[in-house]
Amino acid sequence: MASLVKELIEAGIHFGQRRSNWNPAMRPYIFATRNQIHIIDIKETIKGLLLARKLIQKVASEGKDVVFCGTKRQAQAAIEEHCTEANQPYVTERWLGGTLTNFRTIRERLKRLEELDALIETGEIKSYSKKMESQLMREQRKIHRNLNGIRNMANLPGAMVVVDVNRERNALHEARNLGIPTICLIDTDGDPSLADIPIPGNDDSMRSIDVVIRELCAAASEGRSKRAMAEAAANEGDGESAPAPRRRSNRSQFRADDSAAPADASSAETGVATETPSS
């Protein structure tokens, strides 16, 4: 934990906005003011980060996705890198209206992207005219740019991580309408009421964003690992709890039948049970 705190401070996560450009709702998360710049309380940052990690681990252990949204230039590279490693969906170019609330239509567009990718990979697109080929390639690039990060998200996510609440209000409103919990990296000019779990910190620093996204993606990976281990243990337990019954060999069965046959036959002929005379 000490190394994480040191890394966050070195990344400049405690530097907020200028005093003239702040949201009064962020007052509980501000430690002091230096040179007309607000200093964020690092204790509140760590508190929010730990709560976010706990929630993401729980969501991932239930088999649900965590979608990351950060369309500002400073957040794009970090989100793409860490989400790709953790196999989590992300949006870094543009949040299309209805990405969550109209998810069925988004899935249809993703199916179209798969069709266009198949045309390109097989070379079948060359069979079209030059004009049609150009139109199809332009359509493929557009869908790929906007939706490639969520192409493997088959269902609605279990949580959402957002960088800069002022920029991603549409995404936050959709998540709130659907009851999806939100985790937000919020600077001193943001509104913490938009987030279920606010992480107060500098959302303009590439280094601070990278550290936060890295930790949250690591939590998602840990949650999936726990789920995989639990499933493996359950499968092993099922195999050991019901051992196969011991089969009786056919030879012993026939031997028992042969030895019992004469006694049964003599009893049938006399009609009475034979008694052994006492000595």
* Inter-residue contact 158 to 59 (CB < 8 Å): yes
pLDDT at 82: 95
Full-model pTM? 0.80
Q: Looking at the predicted structure, is the pLDDT value of residue 261 above 80?
A: no
**Which pLDDT does position 247 carry in this prediction?**
57
Least trusted range by pLDDT, from 60-69, 162-171, 188-197, 267-276: 267-276
Residue 254 pLDDT: 46
pLDDT at 272: 42
Residues 6+ apart with CB under 8 A from 163: 69, 70, 72, 75, 79, 184, 185, 203, 209, 213
3-state secondary structure string, 15-32? EEEECCCCCHHHHHHEEE
Query: Given pLDDT bands bounded at 50, 70 and 90, which one contains residue 2?
Result: confident
How far is the C-alpha of 259 from the C-alpha of 266, rounded, in Å? 13
Query: Is residue 240 very low, low, confident or very high in pLDDT (cuts 50, 70, 90)?
Result: low
pLDDT digits (tens, 9 = 90+) for 30-85: 999 898 899 999 999 999 999 999 999 999 999 899 999 999 999 999 999 999 99
**What does the H/E/C string look like for 57-104?**
HHHHHCCCCEEEECCCHHHHHHHHHHHHHHCCCEECCCCCCCCCCCHH
Q: Domains (ranges, CATH) in the chain?
A: 2-100+156-228 (3.40.50.10490), 101-155 (1.10.287)
Q: In the chain, at which residue ranges do the beta strands (DSSP E only) sit?
A: 15-18, 30-34, 37-40, 66-69, 90-91, 159-163, 182-186, 197-200
Task: Say if residues 216 and 59 touch (Cβ distance below 8 Å).
Answer: no
Whether the pLDDT of residue 255 is over 60: the answer is: no
Residue among 48, 151, 156, 169 at smallest CA distance from 91:
151
Token output for 193: 């009421």
pLDDT recorded at residue 269: 44
Question: Residue 278 pLDDT > 60, yes or no?
Answer: no
**Span 95-115, pLDDT tens digits:** 998 999 999 999 999 999 999
Looking at residue 227, its pLDDT comes to: 86
**How far from each other are the two terminal CA atoms of the chain, in whole angstroms?**
92
d(CA 81, CA 218): 12
At 161, the amino acid letter reads V
Confidence at residue 235, expressed as pLDDT on a 0 to 100 scale = 79
Predicted local confidence at residue 267, as pLDDT? 44
Q: 């726990």: which residue's tokens?
A: 226
Residues with Cβ within 8 Å of 187's Cβ and at least 6 positions away in sequence, in order, are 16, 17, 164, 200, 201, 202, 203, 204
pLDDT tens digits, 119-144: 999 989 888 899 999 999 999 999 99
What is the pLDDT, as a whole number, of residue 214?
94
- What does the pLDDT read at residue 168? 93
Q: What is the Cα–Cα distance from 151 to 171, expressed in whole angstroms?
A: 17
Task: Considering only residues 268 and 205, tell me which one the structure prediction assigns the higher pLDDT.
Answer: 205
The per-residue pLDDT for range 172-226, each reduced to its tens digit, is 999 999 999 999 999 999 999 999 999 999 999 999 999 999 999 999 999 999 8
Give the CB-side neighbour count of residue 130, counting CA atoms within 13 A: 0
Nearest Cα residue to 95 out of 46, 160, 32 = 160
Residue 266 has pLDDT above 80, yes or no: no
More confident residue, 254 or 57: 57
